Structure 1
């Protein structure tokens, strides 16, 4: 495992390192960075870069990607006029604000016209875009803003900070929440720019409701109705870092219910650094 001197680490709280990372990203680099209470990989959103990062991770080159953005532009990936009738834009943005105020989270909504095909997918006849963001309090928003300015784009590509289980052969391959494990898995020479939490324990403590792993994802592009309950219900697409019970309370406060989609029936598990020698 690569050992990095603490004084040489690039930190998400260092404006100079953020500026350097944003410039590297605009030039085509993949940046693995502090993201809420774990790590994510962010790059330019063009097709060639997304394909290259998919291959680096061990995924199929054409796997559809997610997008991210700083808070000021995070909803531009969606066409809010195409939300379901039972979910007006005002209610949708209130839900987004409430969950991003808590921390890292993901949403799928009707894709805006400018979102390219490699960053969108059709679900139930609706072309959608999945937005993953670190929440409003995370210092990585400064990096996302600088990267958008450097690329001249509103949106960036984001993916989990890990190698795919299709490449590693492991039963699962959760996102990293320790920079040392991230370095060990990707190794030297991969070209990955790493921007760390200054204190990983403090980052985890800052989000007591969230486990350090890939985000929970809520669908905004469809509603369902449950017998005996007059409220429209949104669908939890992935049960990740934020517990479904917390999402349910947030939705209830604005008059909506929650149902678990097929892929959310089993909650994800965080990476266990005690199981694999490479991560020790």
Structure 2
């Protein structure tokens, strides 16, 4: 479905430079922007405690819940403290692994947080503070929007979360994020603090990411390892099996000298949101 079919409900278009500037200005002014993010949609906003609390309440989450980090691909390394990687995990190989994953599409990365990450986006961990970075990858045109928003806010990072409501509001066990602009607008279009920046052509956005399902990103962590493989490779941890499969991530990790351990909660892949038939 193209955005032309949802003209009555969409606000801005990701492929339109003027709309991108308007959305970036709205974010800088304090609004959240629900925008194309790889092959689905995510909600990006300022990384200050007030904005994080406001978005959490809108979604039905605890106000103080830590948000994830997003940014343009070239600033991803600045989110991590590469001096705090586990013993035997070379930072150069982690960097090359994450670069390849970013080239494929949307991905989540969790590692030791650098001092540059805003406090509202840092999680406490027994081994030290961590940051969870969620990025749309290098194939998505949303990098123009993210770059414009960063230019106006004057920082390296923004806050991001999934575009859905929590179980507290819906009463349902699992509410995946939106991957269609019509459903997104129906649920969030009336929110006064949300602007929508839709994919110009959603089918094309999905074709750009043939290995990804249209759901929340997979999350690979490297702030700790889960032992070693039989061949002696350090095993990074897959914390969530989302849009990119564990098998695909395992193959990419092996290219860079790592094994992959799938956390118990990541054993079952996330499924995309289903929409009522028209």
Task: Give the shorter-chain TM-score range.
Answer: over 0.9
Distance 1:25 1:9, change over 3 A: closer
Q: Distance in 1 between matches of 2:77 and 2:51?
A: 22
- Cα pair 1:163 1:185 within 8 Å, conserved: no
- The unaligned stretches of length 5 or more in structure 1 are none
Q: Distance in 1 between matches of 2:9 and 2:28?
A: 26
| Cross-structure match for 1:206 | 208
| Cross-structure match for 1:85 | 87
Query: For structure 1, which segment, 67-76 or 128-137, has the greater mean C-alpha deviation from structure 2 after superposition?
Result: 67-76
How far off its partner does 1:113 sit? 1.4
Q: Distance in 2 between matches of 1:245 and 1:21?
A: 36
TM-score, normalization: structure 1? 0.93
Secondary structure class of the residue paired with 2:274? coil
Query: For structure 1, which segment, 220-229 or 169-178, has the greater mean C-alpha deviation from structure 2 after superposition?
Result: 220-229
Q: Superposition pairs for residues 1-280 of structure 1, below 5 Å?
A: 4-5=6-7, 9-226=11-228, 228-274=230-276
Secondary structure class of the residue paired with 2:260? strand
Distance 1:212 1:139, change over 3 A: same
Q: Distance in 2 between matches of 1:22 and 1:30?
A: 10
Distance 1:7 1:121, change over 3 A: closer
Q: Distance in 2 between matches of 1:8 and 1:77?
A: 32
Distance 1:187 1:143, change over 3 A: closer
- Cα pair 1:86 1:223 within 8 Å, conserved: no
Secondary structure class of the residue paired with 1:64? coil
Query: For structure 1, which segment, 116-125 or 144-153, has the greater mean C-alpha deviation from structure 2 after superposition?
Result: 116-125
Q: Distance in 1 between matches of 2:88 and 2:143?
A: 31
Secondary structure class of the residue paired with 1:53? helix
- Cα pair 2:10 2:182 within 8 Å, conserved: no
Distance 1:99 1:87, change over 3 A: same
- Cα pair 1:35 1:134 within 8 Å, conserved: yes
Distance 1:19 1:227, change over 3 A: closer
- The unaligned stretches of length 5 or more in structure 2 are none
Secondary structure class of the residue paired with 1:94? helix
- Structural RMSD (CA): 1.7
Query: For structure 1, which segment, 5-14 or 75-84, has the greater mean C-alpha deviation from structure 2 after superposition?
Result: 5-14
Distance 1:173 1:190, change over 3 A: farther
Secondary structure class of the residue paired with 1:195? strand
Residues 47-66 of structure 1 show CA distances to partners (whole Å, capped at 9, x for unaligned) of 00000000011111011110
Residues 17-40 of structure 1 show CA distances to partners (whole Å, capped at 9, x for unaligned) of 111111110010000000100000
How far off its partner does 1:229 sit? 3.1
TM-score, normalization: structure 2? 0.94
